[in-house]
Amino acid sequence: MELSAVDLSQVPGHVACVMDGNGRWAERRGLKRTDGHAAGEEALFDAVHGALELGIEWLTVYAFSTENWRRPVDEVRYLMRFNESLLLRRVDELDDLGVRVRFVGRRDWRVPKRLIDRMDSSIDKTAGNSELTLTIAFNYGGRAEIVDSVRRLVAEGAGPDDITEAAISRHLYDPEMPEVDLMVRTSGEFRISNFLLWELAYSELVFVDTLWPDFRRQHLADAVAEFQRRTRRFGGLSG
């Protein structure tokens, strides 16, 4: 990989990707939209290798949103089976790479039990790994996550003064997940689409035209290089 543009001592700790453009990638080739989802698997694994090479510690990918249930039932069913099969086929490889797999999202009745079981076995199998935490956002919505956090707080008996930013953060789906430093969205769309709303508060946003199935580690390195050219101020003054 061409890493020359990246300063390996200033790599973002947490990179989040909106893996978008699978359908358009397929349509441009006269293929079915679902073929685009299948082609996204290679992009995901190349991005994982890139994250490992760059020393990124947290990589979070948006695989299925709470709004994606609006898609045709066949596409939704395909995505459920595809994600189950991907975990079944490739969790050993992730484990060998030292990747710790986690999930964020709602585990409601619409997510097939077999997929939930596969998620749990992937979490358990890779729990001891520490090279990279790969979090898959599945049936995930940023608003739902904040609502679920506040609900849990209230269920624990929290009163108005207990509802603080720190308390909400501690009750998010994965309290250990650090805030996002860099968010990359593929396919030329300039929006967040309900991804990690809380965690993105001060992240740098990079939008690329590449469709997700064409995304490779070099694109990740380029996004990190772009991140390193930005000045983060967090509301203060730089320098």
Which residue among 20, 35, 181, 222 is the active-site one? 20
Rounded to the nearest whole angstrom, what is the least distance from the CB of residue 132 to Mg ion in the complex?
25
213 interacts with ligand IPE by CB under 6 A: no
Q: Given the rule CB under 5 A, which residues bind Mg ion? A: 20
Q: Is 181 a known active-site residue?
A: no
85 interacts with ligand IPE by CB under 6 A: no
Dihedral angle of Cα 215, 136, 234, 143, to the nearest 10 degrees = 120
Distances (CA, A) of 162 to 159, 172, 174, 197, 221: 5, 15, 19, 21, 41
Q: Is 20 a known active-site residue?
A: yes
Where do runs of H (alpha helix) occur along the chain?
A: 22-28, 33-54, 73-96, 113-126, 142-155, 165-170, 217-229
Query: Stretches 118-126, 142-150, 156-164, 184-192: which one binds ligand IPE (CB under 6 A)?
Result: 184-192
61 vs 153, beta carbon nearer ligand IPE: 61
62 interacts with ligand IPE by CB under 6 A: yes
Query: Stretches 19-27, 114-122, 127-135, 148-156: which one binds ligand IPE (CB under 6 A)?
Result: 19-27
Q: Considering only CA atoms, which of 205, 199, 203 is closest in space to residue 174?
A: 199
Which residue among 68, 129, 194, 214 is the active-site one? 68
20 vs 57, beta carbon nearer Mg ion: 20
The pairing of strands 132-140 and 204-207 is unpaired
20 vs 222, beta carbon nearer Mg ion: 20
Rounded to the nearest whole angstrom, what is the least distance from the CB of residue 179 to ligand IPE in the complex?
20
The pairing of strands 132-140 and 14-18 is unpaired
Rounded to the nearest whole angstrom, what is the least distance from the CB of residue 62 to Mg ion in the complex?
10
Contacted by 68, from ligand IPE, Mg ion, none: CB < 5 to 8 Å by type: ligand IPE
Cα–Cα distance measured from residue 209 to residue 211, given in angstroms and rounded to the nearest whole number: 6
Using DSSP's 3-state secondary structure scheme, residue 205 falls into strand
191 interacts with ligand IPE by CB under 6 A: yes
Cα–Cα distance measured from residue 70 to residue 113, given in angstroms and rounded to the nearest whole number: 20
In 131-203, the DSSP E strands lie at: 132-140, 182-185
Rounded to the nearest whole angstrom, what is the least distance from the CB of residue 97 to ligand IPE in the complex?
23
Binding site for ligand IPE (CB under 6 A): 18-24, 62-65, 68, 79, 187, 189, 191, 193
